[in-house]
C-alpha cells in the first residue's frame, strides 16, 4: 500500500520544482479543507475520486492536490474551454503576478513540468485523428510515453471524469500503465455515470477508483458554497403544423380504437383464443407473453366483455384492478396479434392484414411493428415545437421585469442554425426551428423590455455594437492584438456586430465574451450546450433556460450547474433554472369520447394515467423532464417544504391538463 503524499512539504521548494512557489490565495471552503485533511487516507490506493456539484471549486482543489503531491503532472479536461480555464485558475489563484509560467504547457505533444490537455488531444496524438485545434500529427505511443517518463510524470488529473466512458478511456489506461508504479490519479466530477451498465461502471471505477468523497448540493447551498436556486417549468402546447399533425394522429388513432372495440370479428377471435378460454392449459405460453395477455384482458374489459375468472386468477387480479385502455396497452395487444407468438392464432382469420393496412394508413407502424404509444414523429414535433420559443419570450419578459439591469440570463440550445439568419431587407422573421440564431432573432425584437442580447458559440459570436469597445479592451488585456480582432455589423441590424478572433490566442474568445457578460454589457446570452453546458464558468448567471432536448443525468446536471455558482459580486444571488416542455392536450370537443363513454371506455388514448407525478402520455418532453428531475435535488412547492428529488416536488400531480390548466400552471410558476 502506497503512502498518499509523494514528498514532504520542504521538498516542494527545490529550485527544479515550480510547484513549491504555488500558494492558494484564499481560504478553503469547508468541504475542500475536509478533503485535504483526509488526503493521505484517500490516496492509500493511489486514487482520489471526488464528486461535487458544478461550481463547488473542484478545479482549485485539483490544483492544490497536484501541488501537494509535488510531481510533474498531466491534467486532462473534456474541452479546450475547460483546459484553458485550468491554466487561468492556476495563474489567477496560485501564482504571484508576473511569475514564471514557462513550465506550463497546453500542448500534449510538447509536455512540460505541468501539461494541461484535452482527452481528445491525447487520443488524437496516439491515433493520428485531428484534435480540436486541427492537429493530426500522430506520435508513436512509446515515444510519447517515454517523454512523460523522462519528465517524471507521476500525477494524472482527470477533470469531468464522467467522460471517461468514451473511447478516451483506453488511451488513458495505456498512459497510466506506461508510467511509474508510484503514479497517482485525481478524478473530479459532478456527475458520475451512475446510470450506466454495470460493466461500464466497473471500467470507470478501475481508472478513477471508488468514490472517496461525495458532496451534496443541499450541503453546499447550506454552507454558502453554492447559491440558492429553484427549478421552474414553462409548458407550451404544439402550434401550427405540429399541432395539426398531432391532432390528426390522435383523431385517427381514437377512430381506429373505437372501430376495433366494436369489431365483432376481432373481439370474437380474441376472446375465443384458447389462452383466454382455458388459460390453465397454456400457462407457459401466457407467461412468455404476459404483456400481450394482460393487454388483451384490458381491451376486453374496455369493450364490455365479461372476463373469464380463470384468466384473472392466473395473475391474481380482479376485473376492477385492471387499468383503463390506453395507447400503451393497445400497442402491446396489436404487437402480439401482428408480430409475436400469439399471431399464429390470428393468422387463420385474415384479420392481421386488415389491421396492418389500417395502422399503416394512420402512420401507426414502424418497421412492420405497431407504434402508438411513443410515436417518433409526434415526439420529434414536441421536442422541437416552436411553441417553446413563445415560452422563452415569456420567461425573458418575466425575468427582465423582475431583475432589470441585474439580469444575467443564459439560454442553452442544441443547434446554431446559421442558415436561418435573415437576409438583407427582410422585414419579418419567422423561425423555422429552435436554435441559437432563431432565438437571437426572436429576442432581437425586444418590445417594451430592456436587455442587452448576445450570442456565443464555437463559430458564431454576436455582440451589441455598444459592447464592442469593452470586448476589444478585454481582448487586448489578454494579449490579443487589435489586428487579430475582426468585427462587422450584422447586415440586417447595425445595432449588433459579429466578431471573430484570429491568431494564436483565438481560443480566448469564450473568456473574453464571458467577461463582457459578467460586466453587464450583455444581459442575455444565447449559446450552445456543447460549448457552454459543461465546465464554463460565469458566476453572475442568475437565470438559465435549458432550451435543449438533452435528458441524460450527466449532461442536464452539468448544464444546470452553470447557474448555481456563487457570485462574489452579488452575495444575495438566487438563480432560476427554467425547463421547457411541450405537451399534448385533449381537445375540448371530441365526439369519439362521448361515444366511447357509452361503451364504458374512457377514450383517452392520448393520455395515460399519472406516473411519477406527471402523465408521460403528455408527450416525449414530459418523459424528458421525469428523467432529468430524478437527479435534481430541490425544495418542494407543497407544504411542508422539504428537499426532494423527482418532478413530483413541483406539484404537477393534480394539474388538469387542458388549455386552461396549462395556463394556470404556468401562471403559478411565474408567480412563484
Ranges 240-249, 257-266, 410-419, 559-568, most confident: 410-419
Residues 102 and 47 in one domain: yes
pLDDT at 5: 38
252 and 199: one domain? no
Using the predicted structure, report yes or no on whether residue 166 has a pLDDT greater than 50: yes
- Mark which of 339, 360, 381 sits at the end of a domain: 381
Residue of 296, 309, 298 lying closest to 269 (CA atoms): 296
Place of cell 500525477: 155
Considering the domain architecture, whether residues 342 and 210 belong to the same structural domain is answered as no
What is the Cα 291 distance to its own chain's centre?
32
Residue 254: pLDDT band by 50, 70, 90 thresholds? confident
List the alpha helices (DSSP H) in 152-233. Answer: 168-178, 198-208, 217-222
Q: Report yes or no on 632 lying in a domain.
A: no
One domain for residues 186 and 92: yes
> CA 458, 460, 463, 469 torsion: positive or negative?
positive
- For residue 11, what pLDDT band results from cuts at 50, 70 and 90? very low
pLDDT score at 293: 94
Mean pLDDT within 566-588:
88
Q: What is the largest CA-CA distance in the chain?
A: 92
Cα 236 to Cα 662: distance, rounded to the nearest angstrom: 7
pLDDT at position 595: 38
In this structure, the answer to whether residues 169 and 290 fall within a common structural domain is no
**How much is the average pLDDT of 223-228?**
91
- Name 207's Cβ contacts closer than 8 Å, sequence gap at least 6: 158, 164, 169, 172, 173, 176, 185, 187
Q: Which of 39-43, 351-355, 547-551 is most confident?
A: 39-43
Task: Determine the average pLDDT of the residues in 389-407.
Answer: 96
Task: Tell me the angle at which helices 553-560 and 620-629 cross, rounded to the nearest 10 degrees.
Answer: 70
> For the sheet containing 485-490, what is the strand order?
229-236, 575-582, 543-547, 409-413, 524-528, 453-456, 461-464, 493-501, 485-490
- Cα separation, 647 vs 632, whole angstroms: 9
State whether the Cα torsion 603-605-609-614 is positive or negative.
Answer: negative
Cα separation of 431 and 392, whole Å?
Answer: 13
Q: In a 3-state reduction of DSSP, which class is residue 341?
A: coil
My answer on whether 286 and 188 are in the same domain is no
Q: With a cut of 50, say whether residue 615 has pLDDT above it.
A: no
> Is 554 or 311 the better-scoring residue by pLDDT?
311
pLDDT at 164 over 80: no
The predicted model gives 76-90 an average pLDDT of 91
- Say if CB 32 and CB 213 are below 8 A apart: no
Lowest-pLDDT range, 178-182, 213-217, 466-470? 213-217
Domain hosting residue 339, numbered range:
240-381
Confidence label for 289 from pLDDT (cuts 50, 70 and 90): very high
Q: Which helix (H) or strand (E) holds 76?
A: strand 73-77
Q: Vertex 480, ends 475 and 485: CA angle to 5°?
A: 75
Q: Which residue, of 357, 381, 405, is where some domain finishes?
A: 381
For residue 52 the three cell numbers come to 461535487
pLDDT above 90 (res 86): yes
Whether the per-residue pLDDT at 419 is higher than 90: the answer is yes
Q: What is the pLDDT of residue 587?
A: 53
What average pLDDT does range 121-130 have in this prediction? 82
Query: Residue 574 domain-assigned?
Result: no
Q: Please tell me the predicted confidence (pLDDT) of residue 130.
A: 65
Please tell me the predicted confidence (pLDDT) of residue 607. Answer: 38
Question: What pLDDT, on a 0 to 100 scale, did the predictor assign at position 600?
Answer: 34
Q: Among 130-139, 532-541, 588-597, whose mean pLDDT is lowest?
A: 588-597
C-alpha cell at 409: 440570463
Q: Tens digits of per-residue pLDDT, 181-209?
A: 999 999 999 888 776 778 888 888 889 99
Same domain flag for 246 and 211: no
Mean pLDDT (the chain) is: 86
Q: What pLDDT is attached to residue 589?
A: 39
Residue 111 domain flag? yes
Domain boundary among 327, 346, 381: 381
Digit-coded pLDDT (tens) for 126-151 = 887 766 666 766 778 888 999 999 99
**Over 60: is that where the pLDDT of 519 sits?**
yes
Q: Omega into 31 within 30° of 0, i.e. cis?
A: no
| Residue 285 shares a structural domain with residue 213 | no
As given in the structure block, the three cell numbers for residue 23 are 500558494
| Beta strand 633-635 pairing with 643-645 | antiparallel
CA–CA separation, 406 and 61 (whole Å): 30
Residue 488 DSSP code: E
Q: Which one is predicted more confidently, 64 or 6?
A: 64
Would residue 83 count as lying in a domain? yes
How far apart are alpha carbons 667 and 669 in whole angstroms?
5
Backbone angles phi, psi at 462, to 5 degrees: -125, 135
**Average pLDDT for residues 465-482, to the nearest whole number?**
96
Residues 211 and 246 in one domain: no
- 47-52 and 229-236 as β-strands: parallel, antiparallel, unpaired? unpaired
In a domain, 80, yes or no: yes
Question: Residues 133, 247: one domain?
Answer: no
Tell me the CATH number at 212. 3.40.50.300
Q: How many structural domains compose the chain?
A: 2
Mean pLDDT of 645-666: 88
- The confidence band for 14, taking pLDDT boundaries of 50, 70 and 90, is very low
| 624 or 588, higher pLDDT | 624
- Do 188 and 162 meet the contact criterion of CB atoms below 8 Å apart? no
Q: So what's the pLDDT on residue 134?
A: 64
Reply yes or no on whether the pLDDT at 214 is more than 50.
yes
Report d(CA 471, CA 467) in Å as an integer: 6
Pairwise CA distance, residues 496 & 468, whole Å: 9
Same domain, residue pair 68 and 134? yes
- The per-residue DSSP string of 599-636 comes to TT----TT-PPPBTTB-GGG-HHHHHHHHHHTT-EEE-
Whether residue 554 contacts residue 196, with contact meaning beta carbons closer than 8 Å, is answered with: no
Check whether 606 has a pLDDT greater than 60: no
Q: What is the pLDDT of residue 129?
A: 74
Is there a domain that residue 487 lies in? no
pLDDT, position 114: 97
pLDDT bin (cut points 50, 70, 90) of residue 9 is very low
Residues 76, 216 within the same domain: yes
Look at residue 70 in the predicted model and tell me its pLDDT.
95
CB–CB of 269/333 below 8 Å? no
Q: How sure is the predictor about 152, in pLDDT bands with cuts at 50, 70 and 90?
A: very high
In 422-469, the DSSP E strands lie at 453-456, 461-464
Within-domain flag for 316: yes
Q: What is the pLDDT of residues 327-359, one digit of tens each?
A: 889 999 999 999 988 887 887 777 888 899 999
Amino acid at each position: 500500500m502506497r503512502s498518499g503524499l509523494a514528498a514532504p512539504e520542504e521538498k516542494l521548494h527545490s529550485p527544479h520544482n515550480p510547484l513549491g512557489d504555488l500558494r492558494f490565495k484564499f481560504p478553503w471552503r469547508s468541504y475542500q479543507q475536509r478533503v485535504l485533511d483526509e488526503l493521505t487516507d484517500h490516496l492509500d490506493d493511489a486514487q482520489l475520486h471526488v464528486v461535487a456539484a458544478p461550481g463547488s471549486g473542484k478545479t482549485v482543489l485539483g490544483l492544490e492536490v497536484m501541488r501537494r503531491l509535488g510531481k510533474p503532472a498531466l491534467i486532462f479536461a473534456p474541452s479546450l474551454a475547460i483546459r484553458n480555464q485550468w491554466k487561468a485558475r492556476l495563474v489567477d489563484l496560485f501564482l504571484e503576478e508576473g511569475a514564471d509560467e514557462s513550465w506550463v504547457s497546453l500542448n500534449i505533444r510538447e509536455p512540460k513540468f505541468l501539461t494541461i490537455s484535452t482527452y481528445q488531444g491525447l487520443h488524437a496524438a496516439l491515433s493520428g485523428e485531428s484534435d480540436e485545434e486541427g492537429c493530426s500529427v500522430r506520435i508513436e505511443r512509446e515515444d510519447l510515453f517515454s517523454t512523460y517518463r523522462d519528465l517524471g510524470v507521476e500525477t494524472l488529473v482527470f477533470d469531468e471524469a464522467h467522460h471517461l466512458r468514451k473511447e478516451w478511456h483506453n488511451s488513458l489506461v495505456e498512459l497510466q500503465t506506461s508510467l511509474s508504479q508510484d503514479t497517482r490519479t485525481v478524478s473530479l466530477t459532478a456527475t458520475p455515470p451512475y446510470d450506466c451498465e454495470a460493466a461500464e461502471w466497473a471500467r470507470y471505477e478501475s481508472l478513477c477508483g471508488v468514490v472517496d468523497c461525495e458532496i451534496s448540493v443541499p450541503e453546499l447551498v447550506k454552507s454558502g458554497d453554492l447559491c440558492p436556486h429553484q427549478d421552474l417549468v414553462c409548458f407550451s402546447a404544439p402550434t401550427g403544423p405540429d399541432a395539426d399533425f398531432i391532432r390528426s394522429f390522435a383523431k385517427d388513432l381514437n377512430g381506429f380504437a373505437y372501430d376495433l372495440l366494436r369489431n365483432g370479428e376481432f373481439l370474437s377471435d380474441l376472446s375465443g383464443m384458447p389462452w383466454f378460454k382455458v388459460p390453465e392449459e397454456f400457462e407457459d405460453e401466457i407467461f412468455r407473453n404476459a404483456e400481450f395477455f394482460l393487454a388483451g384482458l384490458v381491451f376486453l374489459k374496455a369493450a364490455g366483455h365479461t372476463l373469464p375468472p380463470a384468466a384473472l386468477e392466473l395473475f391474481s387480479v380482479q376485473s376492477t384492478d385492471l387499468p383503463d385502455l390506453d395507447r400503451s396497452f393497445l400497442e402491446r395487444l396489436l404487437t402480439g396479434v401482428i408480430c409475436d407468438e400469439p399471431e399464429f392464432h390470428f393468422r387463420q382469420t385474415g384479420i392481421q392484414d386488415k389491421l396492418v393496412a389500417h395502422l399503416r394508413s394512420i402512420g401507426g407502424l414502424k418497421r412492420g411493428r405497431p407504434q402508438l404509444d411513443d410515436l417518433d414523429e409526434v415526439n420529434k414535433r414536441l421536442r422541437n415545437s416552436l411553441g417553446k420559443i413563445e415560452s422563452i419570450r415569456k420567461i425573458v419578459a418575466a425575468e427582465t421585469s423582475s431583475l432589470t439591469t441585474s439580469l444575467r440570463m443564459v439560454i442553452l440550445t442544441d443547434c446554431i442554425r446559421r442558415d436561418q439568419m435573415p437576409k438583407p431587407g427582410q422585414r419579418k422573421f419567422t423561425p423555422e426551428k429552435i436554435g441559437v440564431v432563431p432565438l437571437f432573432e426572436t429576442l432581437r425584437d425586444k418590445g417594451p423590455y430592456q436587455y442587452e442580447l448576445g450570442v456565443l458559440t464555437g463559430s458564431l459570436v454576436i455582440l451589441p455594437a455598444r459592447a464592442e469597445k469593452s470586448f476589444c479592451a478585454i481582448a487586448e488585456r489578454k494579449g490579443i492584438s487589435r489586428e487579430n480582432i475582426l468585427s462587422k455589423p450584422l447586415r440586417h441590424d447595425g445595432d449588433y456586430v459579429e466578431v471573430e478572433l484570429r491568431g494564436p490566442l483565438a481560443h480566448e474568445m469564450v473568456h473574453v465574451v464571458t467577461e463582457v457578460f459578467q460586466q453587464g454589457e450583455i444581459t442575455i446570452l444565447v449559446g450552445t450546450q456543447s460549448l457552454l453546458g459543461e465546465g464554463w464558468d460565469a458566476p453572475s448567471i442568475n437565470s438559465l433556460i435549458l432550451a435543449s432536448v438533452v435528458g441524460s443525468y450527466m449532461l442536464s446536471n452539468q448544464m444546470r450547474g452553470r447557474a448555481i455558482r456563487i457570485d462574489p459580486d452579488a452575495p444575495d444571488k438566487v438563480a432560476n433554472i427554467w425547463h421547457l416542455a411541450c405537451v399534448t392536450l385533449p381537445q375540448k370537443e371530441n365526439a369519439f369520447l362521448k361515444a366511447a363513454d357509452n361503451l364504458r371506455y374512457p377514450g383517452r388514448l392520448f393520455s395515460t394515467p399519472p406516473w411519477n407525478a406527471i402523465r408521460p402520455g403528455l408527450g416525449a418532453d414530459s418523459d424528458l423532464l421525469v428523467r432529468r428531475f430524478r437527479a435534481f435535488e430541490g425544495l418542494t412547492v407543497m407544504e411542508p417544504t422539504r428537499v426532494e428529488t423527482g418532478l413530483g416536488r413541483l406539484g404537477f400531480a393534480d394539474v388538469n391538463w387542458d388549455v386552461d390548466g396549462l395556463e394556470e400552471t404556468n401562471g403559478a410558476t411565474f408567480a412563484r
